[in-house]
Amino acid sequence: MRDRFGREIEYLRISITQNCNLKCIYCSPGGSGCVHEYTSYLTPEEIEQIVRSMARVGIKKVRVTGGEPLTRADICEIIQRIAGINGIEDLMMTTNGINLDKMAEKLKEAGLNRLNISLDSLKEDKFEYITGGGKLENTLKGIEKALDVGLNPVKINTVLIKGVNDDEIDDFIKLAKARPLEVRFIELMPIGKYGEQNSDKIIYNSEIINARPELIFCEDSTKGHPATYYTIEGYKGKIGFISPMSHKFCDRCNRIRLTSDGKIKPCLGSNGEEDVMEILRNNPEHLDEFIQRIIYEKPMRHHFEQDFSSARNMSMIGG
């Protein structure tokens, strides 16, 4: 389905939980937002109902996120239900990889196609600092297991922070040399207190690209994707750059978001959202029409550059 600006909206990101087993400094420093006792999370049945409706209006790709999606005991049921929906062509997940070594094979069997794995340092002490106590070896094991079971492509998402992990850029790039990984650098966004208060710590992706002439632009970078891809001669993988701060890609944005508490959020850089649960529970016959309206009215652009303050942190929105 096209929105009022002619963009084909076909990609849904679902946050299935706000809970997380890490306490990353740019998301929830101190861990105050990492554990919730909510009983109002979308059930597997409700998720299936909403995604079925979205598939009827043109959604083709679904990414399951959190919080940390692998903290939900029913994660494989959720994946299986979404995978069985007619019209859903691609089913993905974003995870921190901490529990992935134990879960990758089950997720593949349930119908998951591919993975994004958050990894912000390759140094044990720094990884522990950034994640609030996480163990690097667990995420690295998860990456290897994902490759082994064929959850490809495996994409590594790295949020760069000046003075924290920007000395590891070339180490991250080397991850794509011997393995078919897509290593993607993401500019720090003003979501949550850390991002809002540390705009001086943004590493602009253009700086990385200009300093490395060995990077070869990939002409087949797909329209609608936020990342611009490069490769290096002899490398099996790719290097991607997601630049929401320095290079808006709003004109080709093709996604909407569903939060774990049942709100549809058309734009990451806007506080606008609508309650889908009220419609689902009280007027389900109007669900398709409700979703169509939200998609059609999707905002033209985000407002990160205008002193934007998000009403939700990333664990509440979905990474």
Q: In a structure prediction context, what are the per-residue pLDDT tens digits for the chain, which is 319 residues long?
A: 999 999 999 999 999 999 999 988 888 766 665 776 655 789 999 999 999 999 999 999 999 999 999 999 999 999 999 999 999 999 999 999 999 999 999 999 999 999 999 999 999 999 999 999 999 999 999 999 999 999 999 999 999 999 999 999 999 999 999 999 999 999 887 766 777 788 889 999 999 999 999 999 998 655 557 789 999 999 999 999 998 766 667 888 899 999 999 999 998 767 779 999 999 999 999 999 999 999 999 988 765 555 545 555 555 565 5
Name the packing angle between helices 136-149 and 124-131 (round to 10°).
Answer: 90
Give this prediction's pTM: 0.90
Residues 6+ apart with CB under 8 A from 308: 190, 269, 302
Say if 24 falls within a structural domain. Answer: yes
Q: Which domain holds residue 194?
A: 11-317
Say if 1 falls within a structural domain. Answer: no
Say if 75 falls within a structural domain. Answer: yes
Q: What is the CATH number of the domain that holds 58?
A: 3.20.20.70
pLDDT in tens, 161-182: 999 999 999 999 999 999 999 9
Say if 84 falls within a structural domain. Answer: yes
Name the packing angle between helices 75-83 and 100-110 (round to 10°).
Answer: 30
Say if 6 falls within a structural domain. Answer: no
Number of domains the chain contains: 1
Residues 6+ apart with CB under 8 A from 138: 97, 98, 99, 101
Say if 87 falls within a structural domain. Answer: yes
